[in-house]
Structures are given as structure tokens and as C-alpha cells.
A and B are shown apart, each in its own frame.
Chain A
Amino acid sequence: MADEQKPEGSPATPPPGGEAAAPPAKPATPAAKPAAPKPAAAAHAAPPKPPATMAATPWDSDLAKEIKERFGDHISETSTYLGQSFVVVKPDAAVPLVEYLKLEADFDYLVDVTAVDWPKRAERFDLVYILYSFARNERLRIKTFIAEGFKPETVVNVHLTANWLEREVFDMFGIEFAGHPDMRRILLPEEWQGYPLRKDYGILQQDDRWVKENLGIESGQ
């Protein structure tokens, strides 16, 4: 299981190029492996590849500097990978950062809020905000690492669209957002037990009691 903690700029990696509006893939970048392993034999016998962390490079831009100046210690990383920039921020500063980007830097469209579960890490979840700016035609990911049970502040007051998106994160990961106006499950039934997108929730697992009580069958499988 790869740890998402990246070293500040791996030495062997040249910058992957422009930060925005880049065409889907940049074949000239040697940062990542350009193609999949050569035919079958290699794929089967190959030992695990050496880079266990994401080969991200530091993100140099005016905006990155501004963010660092403004938020100082709260920013733990500003990097770019495959031409996509992201900022890693301390949980407390995530919402102020999103708000700052909306008001001062034209990132007026919150594309998505989602999470990734890393059960072996101390701060178990990645909380990811994907932002877009119509004026700059640029995307930016804000990532923050939170521990289980931590209640991050809601971003609904900045972007209304976060309402359902955060409800889905709560539904799937059990991350409760403080100050959210309507913190209920959205896709699963309200009485459902368990958070399916956590890694310790099995693919065949279900809430047997709910299924039995509401559907009158032993199993939905």
C-alpha cells in the first residue's frame, strides 16, 4: 500500500510542463513510465517497481507563491504531477483556502469534493477539493489529510454545490462535516450501517439487518 506522503520534489524528475490547459497526456515527460511493461513475460515476472511514491514536482507559479505567503505554515506542499497542480493544506486551513481562492483568485467553480481512504496512515483520509477557474481556465486540487473522527468544516458556505458532494463523502466514508446544513446520507438508506468506500468494507459486505428488515430477504447478493 503506497503512502501518499511525497518527498518535496523527487530529484530524478524533470518538471512535467505547463500547469493548465495541457492536452490529456504529455508523452515527452519521462517522469512517469511512458508505457506499460513489455509483453506478458515481463509483466508476470517483474518485481515491484521502485517508485513507491508519486513522482510529483514542485509547483512554481505566482499563485503558489501567493498561497504560501498568505497561509504560511498551513501549506505543507504545492506540487504538480502530470501537469496538474495540487496544494496540500492543514485541515483547519482548507476552507479558508478554498474561500480565498474563490474571492481573490477567481476559482469560482467547485468541481468536486471527494475522499480517499488510506487505512494504514495515521491521518486516515485524503479530503480532496477540485477547483476550476473560468477566468484562468485552470484547475487546482486542494488536498488535506484528516484522521478518523475528525470533523472538517463544511465548505457549503463558500460553494453551494458542496452540499450534496459532502453528503456523498459522509455517506461513503463517514466523514462528518461540521456546520453542514443537512448532514444526512444521500445515496444509501438513512438507517444503513457502515461506510462502503472505506477500505475495510468488503465488496460483498452489506447491512444484513437493513436488508432483512426492509426487503424481507436474507441477502441482496
Chain B
Amino acid sequence: MPDATFLDSTELVLNMGPQHPSTHGVLRVILKLDGEKVLGADCVIGYLHRGVEKIAENRTFAQFNPYVDRMDYVAAISNGLGYCLAVEKVMNVEAPPRAQTVRVILTELNRIASHLLWLGTHALDIGAITPVFYCLREREEALKIFEKYCGARLTTHAFRIGGLLYETYDGFEKDIRDFCTMFLPKVDEYEELLTNNRIWVSRLKDVGILSAEECKEFGVTGPVLRAAGVKWDLRKAQPYSGYEKYDFEIPTRQNGDTYDRYVVRMQEMRQSVRIMQQAVDSLAEGPIMGKVGKVIKPPVGEAYVSIEAPKGELGYYVVCDGATQPYRVRVRPPSFVNLQALDRMIRGGLVADVVAVIGTLDIVLGEVDR
């Protein structure tokens, strides 16, 4: 290194983050550069580590429920759904049909809210200022529905083990239908701004390619995997909460680059609207809470339950020893696993692409660090 001149330098180490606007939280990436070319990256994570899994062992099953919202805080409802399903599994109970349908509606609405935040911030990272205002405008409508339903906008704690605590409010169905009709043209609007935009396309095309084989090697799931051509979605592969009843498609693309991941997520939002419309039409009267006692005390045993969260496969591995507190709760976070592929995706690319690739991975550091 000392013999290298500036013109013929070998390697430069550049520290990016943890306080950097485009790392979407406190992610630190140590980049090894040759000029503008990225030779490798090392992620330093853990700045938001709160020991969620340890907390779980010291809370009752019901008490731990609100904590899971704080992991992926932009998709809190998905987190809650996964946890409730996992505990219901070890208890061997099932939420009643009405509760399942309401869960599907809210989870899909949350998927849209999560994708909207991703789209806005991703576009902002790339240099398109406008979409973020549009996206947050529509996301606000989704958050309003959450607020009306359970009183909270972000960390909703919307579901309970065994079903729901709250019945839907008067006008819930109308709000959902209105949102769906309002939202579909908005997706077209975003697409008009971006999909064929020359700058957008040239910044995203062939950037951060991850092939289907690499995705499987790295355990990468969610839109990233689907953009690489693997038609796999847990809602179809191993349906839960009655997803098998709804007619929807799994959008896929072939190249596995940043642009394809953008397209997949845009189409997913449309599919979510389709699911919500069908779910709200099929919403029947009935109980909202299953046969679960006041004290949740599952038998000795263990189960792994996973759902398709907006970021990928979100799994909970719950071990019970017959007490009212979980013996162990392991969260399999999609963001954490997906982030591991960052190094592979940006190797050989340009510094400017790092920002695009972090954006397209759609990580939430609250979930990476837990």
C-alpha cells in the first residue's frame, strides 16, 4: 500500500454509515474500493439490538405480542400475524374465519404501506424527489385505517393470540373498498413517473444482480427471490389464514436486478389490492376470538411457523416448556438474511450503486438487529 501512487492506488476503505440517509437506519457498511469500483463490503450491524428474543423468555406469551411490532416497524401487522400464528400453532388452535379474513385485509394493507415507504425512499435515494410525497400521501390513508381500527398507526398490536381483540368499526368495509378504488390508479401514477423514466431505468437496470441460485444459496426470499424468476410465495406455497381462498398471482421477473425487484413490488401492490377486495367481499359475521383462555399456556412442544412478510419469509420458532412464558422464541428475520447478500450484489459495481442496492433490498434495521 505505501508504494501505491494516487493514480495507481490499490484499495481504499470507505466507511458508509451508520448515520447515512440512504442506509435506511443505522447500518454501517465498510466498503473496499478501487476508484469507483466496489471490491467488497462488510456490514456492521447491531446498533438497534434490543434483545427481543431474550425479552420473549421473560414475558408471557400475550405480553410479548406488542414487542414483535417493534422489529419490522413499517410492517408491524405482518410481524404480529406471524407471532400469533406461531403461538396458535403450538397451542393447536385456530382463529375463527372472520378473524382470519380481517387479518388478511389488514396484513395486505400493511404490505401496501410497507411497499409504499420502500418505493418512496428508494426513489429518493436514486434522486427522484417527487415519488416520496405521493407514496407517503397514500400510505397515510392506510395508516388512518389502522388508527381507526386499533388506535395506533405504526406499532399497531392489531391481533391477539387466538383471533382479534377489536371488532371492526362501522364503515370498515367501506374504507377498505374506497382505499382499493383510490389506490389502483395511484400505482399507475407512480409507474408513469418511474417505470419508463430514462434516469430511473439506467440507474436500476443490471444493477445488483442476484440470480435464482445465489438467492437460494443466501436464503434470500421475498420480492428479491421472485425478481430472479422463482415463483415462490408462502401465501401460495403453504397458505395460512385462508390465503388459499383468494385468487391472486405471484408476480415474477427474470433478470434479478434492481429494476426487476422494483417491477415485482409494484405488481405485488396491485395483487394485494385484489386480495383485499376479495377478502372484504367475503367478510362474514361471526366470532372474532378463538377458544383461548385468559392465561395462555401451551403444552410442551415446539413449532416453526413462517409467513410471507413484505420483505420475505418471516419465521417464528417457538419452544414451550409448559409454562406461561415461552422457553425460547427465535425470530427468523427476512431483512437480516437478505442483507447478507449485499456483498455479493454490489461486488464489482460502482459506489453509487451501493445506495440503489441497499434500497432495493428493502431492509428495516429494527428487524435486522432485533
Contacts and interface: CB of A to CB of B under 8 A. Distances in A.
Given A54-B301, A161-B217, A21 B340 contact: no
Nearest to A139: B304
A116 B369 CA distance: 19
B292 A111 contact: no
B325 to A, nearest CB: 11
A2 interface: yes
A116 B322 contact: no
Interface in B279-309: 290-306
B91 interface: yes
Contacts of A55: 299-301
A188 B92 contact: no
A35 B291 contact: yes
Contacts of A75: none
Interface in A173-203: 185-189, 196-197, 199, 201, 203
B313 interface: yes
A53 B90 CA distance: 14
A89 B369 CA distance: 30
Contact of B317 (A25, A33, A112, A164): A112
A117 B321 CA distance: 12
Nearest to B324: A43
A216 interface: no
B177 interface: no
Contacts of A146: none
Given A187-B49, A189-B46, A34 B92 contact: yes
A127 B93 CA distance: 28
Given A24-B241, A43-B294, A163-B340, A29 B92 contact: yes
A15 B75 CA distance: 36
Interface in A115-134: 116-117, 128, 130, 134
B332 A33 contact: no
Given A111-B332, A187-B49, A35 B58 contact: no
Interface residues of A, number: 64
A164 to B, nearest CB: 5
B7 interface: no
Contacts of B45: 186-187
A24 B217 CA distance: 27
A211 to B, nearest CB: 14
Contacts of A185: 46
Contacts of A160: 217-218
Nearest to A169: B330
Contacts of B218: 160-161
Contacts of A163: 340
B239 interface: yes
Nearest to B238: A21
A112 B94 CA distance: 25
Interface stretch (A44-52, A59-67, A91-99): A44-52
A36 B299 contact: no
B219 A36 contact: no
A82 B92 contact: yes
Contacts of B302: 54, 81
A45 to B, nearest CB: 12
A159 B219 contact: yes
A114 B317 contact: yes
Interface in B18-61: 45-46, 49, 51, 53-55, 57-58
B337 interface: yes
B232 interface: yes
A7 interface: no
Nearest to B239: A23
B301 A25 contact: no
Given A116-B328, A172-B53, A130 B317 contact: yes
Nearest to B337: A161
B190 interface: no
A84 interface: yes
Nearest to A189: B46
A161 B53 CA distance: 20
A40 B92 contact: no
Contacts of A159: 217, 219
Contact of A164 (B217, B306, B340): B340
B54 A54 contact: no
Interface of A: 1-2, 20-21, 23-27, 29, 31-40, 43, 48-49, 51-56, 81-82, 84, 108-112, 114, 116-117, 128, 130, 134, 137, 139, 141, 159-161, 163-165, 168, 172, 185-189, 196-197, 199, 201, 203
Interface of B: 45-46, 49, 51, 53-55, 57-58, 85, 88-94, 216-220, 230, 232, 237-241, 290-306, 313, 315, 317, 319, 321-322, 327-328, 330, 332, 336-337, 340, 369-370
Given A24-B89, A54-B301, 5 more contacts: A36-B293, A117-B328, A161-B217, A186-B46, A187-B369
13 contacts: A25-B93, A36-B91, A40-B294, A43-B294, A48-B322, A51-B322, A81-B302, A114-B330, A130-B317, A165-B337, A168-B336, A197-B53, A203-B58
